């Protein structure tokens, strides 16, 4: 593994690192895949959107209140960029963070997303010492729901017409896990 970006956690199969210029093409590719974008608010994603986004992420620092930081998910064996995890540190209460995740279609169903989210939990709770992680998902997104429950998050709410996306109001589930719960799960 030869990389120059900071590493935020690793397993035998993958690691989380800062975005780099080399991520623009694969990032754009999966962001424009209709299967990947089905439950996402970024309809009609353009190449220049990907360039701007990745270049902004290269300069970001995780854990800054009021900001989103995207971690690149990369395979150890091939150094292939396969997706990303998002970390939103809340401005009004920076001890609580929101997460998200996106994986290229051809990498889904292999356990990579669960593995990456667990790495993200380790970083958030052990390095950043956050109190709580929350996540929101479209109630129709069964894969995301299963993943959030598999990594130990619990459903805390059913939010009706919680955001407007792609011309319609979307119902969401809110999930969360406390730092103390994550520590107990790891025992």
- Superfamily of the domain at 7-131: Gcn5-related N-acetyltransferase (GNAT) (3.40.630.30)
* Domain limits, the chain: 7-131
Alpha-carbon span 140 to 6, nearest angstrom: 35
Residue closest to 82 by CA, chosen among 111, 43, 125: 111
pTM of this prediction? 0.93
**What average pLDDT does the segment 145-156 reach?**
98
Task: Determine the Cα–Cα distance for residues 140 and 159; give it in Å rounded to an integer.
Answer: 13
Residues 86-116: tens digit of each pLDDT: 999 999 999 999 999 999 999 999 999 999 9
Residue 44, pLDDT above cutoff 90: no
Decide: 122 and 155 in contact? Cβ < 8 Å: no
Residue 46 has pLDDT above 60, yes or no: yes
Q: In sequence order, what E strands does 53-106 have? A: 68-75, 81-89, 96-103
pLDDT score recorded for residue 3 = 52
pLDDT of residue 125: 97
Tokens linked to 95: 């001890």
Task: Let me know the angle formed at the C-alpha of 16 by 42 and 153, rounded to the nearest 5 degrees.
Answer: 70
Mean pLDDT of 156-176: 94
């Amino acid at each position: 593994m030869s990389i120059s970006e900071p590493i935020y956690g690793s397993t035998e199969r993958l690691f989380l690192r800062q975005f780099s210029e080399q991520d623009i093409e694969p990032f754009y590719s999966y962001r424009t895949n209709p299967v990947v974008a089905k439950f996402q608010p970024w309809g009609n994603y353009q190449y220049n959107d990907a360039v701007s986004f990745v270049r902004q992420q290269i300069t970001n620092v995780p854990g800054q209140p009021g900001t989103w930081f995207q971690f690149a998910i990369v395979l150890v064996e091939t150094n292939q960029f396969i997706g990303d995890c998002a970390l939103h540190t809340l401005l009004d209460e920076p001890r609580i963070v929101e997460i998200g995740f996106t994986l290229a279609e051809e990498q889904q169903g292999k356990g990579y997303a669960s593995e990456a989210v667990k790495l993200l939990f380790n970083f958030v709770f052990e390095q950043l010492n956050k109190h709580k992680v929350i996540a929101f998902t479209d109630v129709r997104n069964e894969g995301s729901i299963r993943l959030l429950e598999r990594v130990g998050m619990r459903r805390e709410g059913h939010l009706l017409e919680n955001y407007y996306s792609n011309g319609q109001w979307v119902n969401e589930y809110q999930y969360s896990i406390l730092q103390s719960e994550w520590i107990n799960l790891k025992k």
